[in-house]
Amino acid sequence: MIVLGIETSCDETAVALLRGGREVLANLVYSQTDLHARYGGVMPEAASRDHLRKLPSLLDEALATAGVRWSAIELVGVTSGPGLVGPLLVGMAHAAGIAVALNVPLLGVNHLAAHLFAHKLSEPGVPPPFLGLIVSGGHTLLAAVPRWGEYKVVGGTRDDAAGEALDKFGRLLGLGYPAGLKIDALAREGDPTAVPFPRPMIESGLDMSFAGLKTAAVYWRRDHPATPVPNLCASYLEAVVDVLTEKAIRAARRLSLPRIIVVGGVAANQRLREILPERAGEWGLAVHFPPPELCTDNAAIVAACAHHRFTELGVPGSLALTPDPNLPLDGWI
Ligand code: KG4
Ligand code: ZN
């Protein structure tokens, strides 16, 4: 079965073609970051218009890359939430139009569940149960996944997402937007013990808070303007990584889950990739990071999730989809 996946929930326009639930024939991502860089964050109205502009040509390009005709598509999967309502609507309207024109089923996909499918695409031989750590610019949450299609959110941030905390810190230092990758690189030249940033809420529970960390950075900069930027980056990143690591391990142990799967843009972070497996290993927990191109927003994961819902769970297609900016992962099938 060939599945077309479309993702437009935030600032990436993405189209993918997937065969048999796991063979990625094309996975194209057009990032709008240059468009939003001047605002220091995503501007929803500009994002909607840019998705509308880019999607038709990206669809053609994906078909050409995959060497597939429109008529070969048997199922269309599209992100229906959570995300920005305008951008979601653009992707969903396109997807519905294609499904009608081809007379194939249309399935809405939860963006957070789709992120977890990066693991199914990269390591199909390592099935659930696992603990999913979804950590991106828009989301930071912990989800127990006993089997594909069953998700229980057990913790997450109460305010900023971890990627958002890095991006805000990057803005403070004038590193541009998004700043995660630059902080990652600068941190490698700095001392992670140089600045004693707090580890908010690390002592207990599975919830997190990153907003205070940014405030601590503002005050530190004011009071210690001579602190070298690499030391600041290394120390700030260490605080974020410490919190994510501690919470993920605590959740996996508490729920007796044997492995932790890390997805989302922040999963590309080098320090997290070092520290989490090392500390989780001490508790006998395995950690898996899908390749970065599947961790960040893309449509192959949307197609994989739609394929699973349709073929394994028997969820029927529907043209009556509405975008849900706050679509929860908990209980979503
Ligand atoms: O998943 P993603 O591409 O988009 C969503 O937010 O949904 O994640 C983007 C986030 C941004 O906050 C960015 O700063 C962060 O991921 N990021 C990183 C790295 N690469 C991207 N954070 C830390 N280290 C990285 N190497
Ligand atoms: Zn995402």
Nearest to 179 by CA among 132, 240, 88: 240
For residue 84, is pLDDT > 90?
yes
189-219 burial: b if 16+ Cβ within 10 Å, else e: ebebebbebebbbbeeebebbbeebbebbee
Nearest to 137 by CA among 41, 251, 230: 41
Nearest to 118 by CA among 138, 98, 145: 145
Mean predicted lDDT score pLDDT of the chain: 97
Distances (CA, A) of 164 to 37, 142, 177, 262, 275: 14, 17, 10, 17, 20
Distances (CA, A) of 217 to 152, 172, 201: 33, 9, 17
Q: Which ligand is nearest to the CA of 111?
A: 2
For residue 40, is pLDDT > 80?
no
Query: How far is 7 from 115, CA to CA, in rounded Å?
Result: 11
Rg (CA), the chain: 20
Note whether 2-115+295-311 and 128-289 share their fold: yes
Is there a contact between 209 and 201 (Cβ–Cβ < 8 Å)?
yes
Residue 167: the pLDDT is: 95
For residue 37, is pLDDT > 90?
no
> How open is the CA angle 330-326-51, to the nearest 5 degrees?
125
pLDDT band at 56 (very low <50, low <70, confident <90, very high): very high
Coil vs helix vs strand at 154: strand
Question: In testing the pocket of ligand 1, which one of 181, 237, 297 has its CB within 8 Å of the most ligand atoms?
Answer: 181
The fold for domain 128-289 equals: Nucleotidyltransferase; domain 5 (3.30.420)
For residue 50, is pLDDT > 90?
yes
Domain ranges of the chain: 2-115+295-311, 128-289
Residue 333: the pLDDT is: 82
- Which residue's C-alpha comes closest to atom 14 of ligand 1? 180
Question: Which of 38-47, 158-167, 188-197 has the weakest average pLDDT?
Answer: 38-47
pLDDT band at 41 (very low <50, low <70, confident <90, very high): confident
Q: Which ligand is nearest to the CA of 177?
A: 1
Q: Which residue has the tokens 């994961």?
A: 301
Coil vs helix vs strand at 17: strand
Residue 321: the pLDDT is: 95
221 CA from centroid of ligand 2 (Å): 30
Which ligand 1 atom sits nearest the alpha carbon of residue 164?
12
For residue 30, is pLDDT > 90?
yes
Reported as a single tens digit per residue, the pLDDT across 127-151 is 999 999 999 999 999 999 999 999 9
Query: How far is 24 from 300, CA to CA, in rounded Å?
Result: 7
223 CA from centroid of ligand 2 (Å): 35
37-52 burial: b if 16+ Cβ within 10 Å, else e: eeeeebbbebbbebbb
Query: How far is 97 from 306, CA to CA, in rounded Å?
Result: 17
24 CA from centroid of ligand 2 (Å): 19
Provide the angle, in degrees to the nearest 10, between the axes of the packed helices 180-187 and 162-172.
Answer: 80
Question: In testing the pocket of ligand 1, which one of 166, 175, 243, 262 has its CB within 8 Å of the most ligand atoms?
Answer: 166
Reported as a single tens digit per residue, the pLDDT across 85-136 is 999 999 999 999 999 999 999 999 999 999 999 999 999 999 999 999 999 9
pLDDT band at 177 (very low <50, low <70, confident <90, very high): confident
Is there a contact between 260 and 218 (Cβ–Cβ < 8 Å)?
no
- Which residue's C-alpha comes closest to atom 13 of ligand 1? 180
List helix spans (H) across the chain. 33-37, 44-66, 85-102, 111-122, 162-172, 180-187, 211-223, 229-254, 270-281, 292-295, 300-311
Query: How far is 272 from 73, CA to CA, in rounded Å?
Result: 38
Reported as a single tens digit per residue, the pLDDT across 212-270 is 999 999 999 999 999 999 999 999 999 999 999 999 999 999 999 999 999 999 999 99
Which ligand 1 atom sits nearest the alpha carbon of residue 163?
12
86 CA from centroid of ligand 1 (Å): 22
CB within 6 Å of ligand 1 — which residues? 10, 136-138, 163, 166-167, 178-181, 184, 264-266, 268-269, 296-297
Q: Which ligand is nearest to the CA of 117?
A: 2
Report the amino acid identity of residue 70. Answer: W
For residue 42, is pLDDT > 90?
no
Residue 129: the pLDDT is: 98
For residue 39, is pLDDT > 80?
yes
| CATH number belonging to domain 2-115+295-311 | 3.30.420.40
126 CA from centroid of ligand 1 (Å): 25
19 CA from centroid of ligand 2 (Å): 22
pTM, two decimal places: 0.96
Report the amino acid identity of residue 314. Answer: G
- Which residue's C-alpha comes closest to atom 8 of ligand 1? 265
Mean of the pLDDT values across residues 189-208? 97
Residue 34: the pLDDT is: 87
